[in-house]
Structure 1
Amino acid sequence: MKIVLIGTTANCVVGFRADMIKSLHQQGHTVYALALNYDATTRAQVKALGATPVDYRFSRTGLNPIRDIIDTIALSKLLKKLNPDLVFSYFSKPCIFGTLAASLAGVKKRYAMLEGLGYLFTEKPEGVSLKVKLLKKIQIALYRFAFPKLDALIVLNPDDRRDLMEKSGVKVKKVHVLGGIGLNLADYPFSAPPVDPVSFIFIARLLVEKGVYEYVSAAKKVKQRYPDVQFYMLGAVDTHNPGSLTEQHLAQLIKDDVINYPGHVNDVPSWIAKASVFVLPSYREGLPRSTQEAMAMGRAVLSSDVPGCRETVVQGVNGFLVERWSSDALVEKMISFIENPQKIIDMGQASYQIAQDNFDAEKVNSRLLEILDLR
């Protein structure tokens, strides 16, 4: 069978679709991986996985409807030339316009996966702007137009399904809740969490909606009472995003010994191994990969009671869900871990078991291929 995967960047193909491509290739399917910015390195990596890299053009974030229509027609012509039996799109824009292009090209089987609903569906303590409300209405209208043309839509958590189908009135023949997109668990081996001193780690882009400001605020408060406690932070400053922690703010936090920030790291597991507890006070997620990685290595989780994060924590068993947007709620649970280090060990063990049962890439890909009717 000929299968086309439509995504965004080449790095996302390599980073998030590698196991799927390998599985499809091993089954004897011909796979074309469409991306926007291949270079010699990513092209070679995709070929090594068993797929053919194919360039296509699309504006990832642009709001020009004429440009989007022209690009959709061009994509449909490319799909006609490739003549696939099945198209699988992932991420918001490819899910909309990849599905429409596949329909125009007469592709028989059409599937899409949303790994989260993104910032347009994310509530914030100060409310959302008129611009965001308008963009959300446009996105929902496009989902309503494109998604009835799908054989099935895949989401990662039940809140996303409810918010799309029930609250937004999007119609799809079938919706499947996949859970985590899976990890190669061998890359994230169990390690005993250190408890003397206790340490916390935050891994995400340093954006307001990831809860970076709540994490920093909690770190300052905890440090006043327990100065030996360490707070690690991995993630990039986004200078183009007004909601990002600034480089100046970050430099001050490092200077004041509030945060331990190593900059860009290639070996995330070694940093998780240094930490006692994983913290993600995000405002909304699909099902966060960083949390899955920490759980696989046996870390207790402290996260927000919001869509996507809820699916990673069994309250009081492998960690705690706390009130969203609240640094005080984080402080309370952090102190609970500091004063009861046995919780770190017991909850870390529970996280490890949950990860083994639910986040194994082999099991997840098997389920995904079943949904795509490729088993």
Structure 2
Amino acid sequence: MNILLITNTAASIFNFRLRLIERLIHDGHIVYLLLPKTDASRISELNQLGIHVVFYELNRSSVNPFQAVVTICSMIKKIKEINPDITFSFFPKPVIFGTLAAHYAGVKCNYSMLEGLGYCFTRRLEADSLKKKILRHSQVLLYKLALPHSRCVIFLNDDDRREIIIDNNVRVKCTYVIGGIGVDLNKFSYQPLPREIRFTMVSRLLIDKGVREYIKAANYVREIYSNVKFDFVGGIDDNLGGVSKTELKSWIDEGHVNFRGVSNNIHEVLTETSVFVLPSYREGVPRSTQEAMAIGRPIITTNVPGCKETVIDGVNGFLVPPWNAQALAEKMIYFIENQSEIERMGKESRILAERKFDEDVFCDKLIKILLG
């Protein structure tokens, strides 16, 4: 079969879809990738993997309706040239534009996956701005236009499914809650703990990831335990809700958290970590947390959609309320004062990862949906 994957970055393929593509190619399918022209830097690597790459026009930050029409028309033309048997779109813009384009290009078997709902559907303590409300309403309308043309809409957690399908009355043919996308449990094998206590957060520098709460909690803990280390791994993001360079500089100047920037070796980062922290306001099911669990690290995360799927409270870590730096700091201090719990809960994380987050099990489910 000719199978077309539609996405918005090459990085999403390298980070999240390589195993799926390897298995599809191994089974004799021809895999195409529809990718924005602006993301052509790793084209040779993709070709070497046996993927046929085709480009379309996309402005990732634009909300201009005319630009959206240009994007869809560009995609329709390319999809007709490829003539796929199946399309599989993931992430919001590719799901909306890709599903519509595939439908108008005459493809009958179109599948979509929403790996989290993003900025528009993420709640904060303060009331949503008018701009955010308009963006959310617009996105719901686009889902109502696009998703009925998908044979199945796949979600990572049931909260996301309910919010889109039930709360916003989006009609679809079929939905499936697949769970976390999983990790390579051999690559991310259990690792011994480092000698010194180190808390680590890995994410983009977005407010909705809970970066501010992490910084506040680290500052509080370091007033009591000045020898404890705090790392942040990830870079500035120009998306809506990104942390400004000015705010980042102020955190760096405070000196309580070591900002390591973007890392190409997350395995090494996690091996140096004692406790993994993600105080996000909402997720699909976070991959970085799954990786930390696989190598045997306890987790402190928030009791919100997506994050709560990774922790059994008190077993492999702790669930804390969102937006609450004090509660986060208290759980950090618990691990500092009860260091034997780091190893115990870390081992429970590995057990849970083996049960819930095996990448090949995820691929089995996804391939069955796409080809079944």
Q: Normalising TM by the smaller chain, what interval?
A: over 0.9
Q: Which amino acid aligns with 2:28?
A: G
Residue 207 (structure 2) pairs with residue 228 (structure 1): no
What residue is the counterpart of 1:329 in the other structure? Answer: 327
Which residues in structure 2 correspond to 1:86-97 (within 5 Å)? 86-97=86-97
Tell me, yes or no, if the aligned pair for 2:282 and 2:305 is still in contact at 8 Å: yes
Task: Return the alpha-carbon distance in structure 2 between the equivalents of residues 53 and 182 of structure 1.
Answer: 25
Residue 353 (structure 2) pairs with residue 355 (structure 1): yes
Give 1:41 deviation, angstroms: 5.4
What residue is the counterpart of 1:30 in the other structure? Answer: 30
Task: Return the alpha-carbon distance in structure 2 between the equivalents of residues 148 and 200 of structure 1.
Answer: 44
Question: What SS class does the counterpart of residue 97 from structure 1 fall into?
Answer: helix
Question: What SS class does the counterpart of residue 182 from structure 1 fall into?
Answer: coil
Give 1:243 deviation, angstroms: 4.0
What residue is the counterpart of 1:120 in the other structure? Answer: 120
Give 1:105 deviation, angstroms: 1.3
Q: Deviations over 1:80-133 (max 9, x none)?
A: 221111111111111111111111111110100111100000001112100110
Tell me, yes or no, if the aligned pair for 2:37 and 2:58 is still in contact at 8 Å: no
Give 1:184 deviation, angstroms: 2.0
Give 1:51 deviation, angstroms: 1.5
Task: Return the alpha-carbon distance in structure 2 between the equivalents of residues 130 and 252 of structure 1.
Answer: 29
Give 1:192 deviation, angstroms: 1.9
What residue is the counterpart of 1:99 in the other structure? Answer: 99
Tell me, yes or no, if the aligned pair for 2:6 and 2:34 is still in contact at 8 Å: yes
What residue is the counterpart of 1:166 in the other structure? Answer: 166
Task: Return the alpha-carbon distance in structure 2 between the equivalents of residues 73 and 310 of structure 1.
Answer: 39
Give the 3 Å change call, closer, same or farther, for CA 34–326 of structure 1 in structure 2.
same
For structure 1, the 5+ residue unaligned runs are none
Which residues in structure 2 correspond to 1:13-28 (within 5 Å)? 13-28=13-28
Q: Which amino acid aligns with 1:206?
A: L
Task: Return the alpha-carbon distance in structure 2 between the equivalents of residues 164 and 224 of structure 1.
Answer: 43
Task: Return the alpha-carbon distance in structure 1 between the equivalents of residues 192 and 299 of structure 2.
Answer: 15
Which residues in structure 2 correspond to 1:47-126 (within 5 Å)? 47-126=47-126
Task: Return the alpha-carbon distance in structure 2 between the equivalents of residues 38 and 253 of structure 1.
Answer: 32
Give the 3 Å change call, closer, same or farther, for CA 71–265 of structure 1 in structure 2.
closer
Q: Deviations over 1:251-278 (max 9, x none)?
A: 4444443112233332222121111100
Task: Return the alpha-carbon distance in structure 1 between the equivalents of residues 248 and 314 of structure 2.
Answer: 32
Tell me, yes or no, if the aligned pair for 1:209 and 1:284 is still in contact at 8 Å: yes
TM-score by length of 2: 0.95
Structure 1 outlier segments of 4+, above 3 Å: 37-41, 240-257
Question: What SS class does the counterpart of residue 261 from structure 1 fall into?
Answer: strand
Q: Percent identity?
A: 44
Tell me, yes or no, if the aligned pair for 1:193 and 1:275 is still in contact at 8 Å: yes
Task: Return the alpha-carbon distance in structure 1 between the equivalents of residues 206 and 38 of structure 2.
Answer: 27
Tell me, yes or no, if the aligned pair for 1:8 and 1:35 is still in contact at 8 Å: yes
Question: What SS class does the counterpart of residue 314 from structure 2 fall into?
Answer: coil
What residue is the counterpart of 1:315 in the other structure? Answer: 313
Report how many aligned residue pairs link the two structures: 372
Give 1:371 deviation, angstroms: 1.2
Q: Which amino acid aligns with 2:255?
A: D
Q: Which amino acid aligns with 1:270?
A: E
Give the 3 Å change call, closer, same or farther, for CA 241–366 of structure 1 in structure 2.
closer
Give 1:45 deviation, angstroms: 1.6
Task: Return the alpha-carbon distance in structure 1 between the equivalents of residues 200 and 21 of structure 2.
Answer: 32
Comparing 39-48 with 127-136, which one deviates more in the overlay?
39-48
Question: What SS class does the counterpart of residue 355 from structure 1 fall into?
Answer: helix
Which residues in structure 2 correspond to 1:121-270 (within 5 Å)? 121-194=121-194, 197-238=196-237, 240=238, 243-270=241-268
Give 1:249 deviation, angstroms: 4.2
What residue is the counterpart of 1:279 in the other structure? Answer: 277
Q: Which amino acid aligns with 2:313?
A: Q
TM-score by length of 1: 0.95
Question: What SS class does the counterpart of residue 28 from structure 2 fall into?
Answer: coil
Q: Deviations over 1:297-320 (max 9, x none)?
A: 100000011111011111111111
Give the 3 Å change call, closer, same or farther, for CA 97–277 of structure 1 in structure 2.
same
For structure 2, the 5+ residue unaligned runs are none
What residue is the counterpart of 2:294 in the other structure? Answer: 296
Tell me, yes or no, if the aligned pair for 1:218 and 1:331 is still in contact at 8 Å: yes
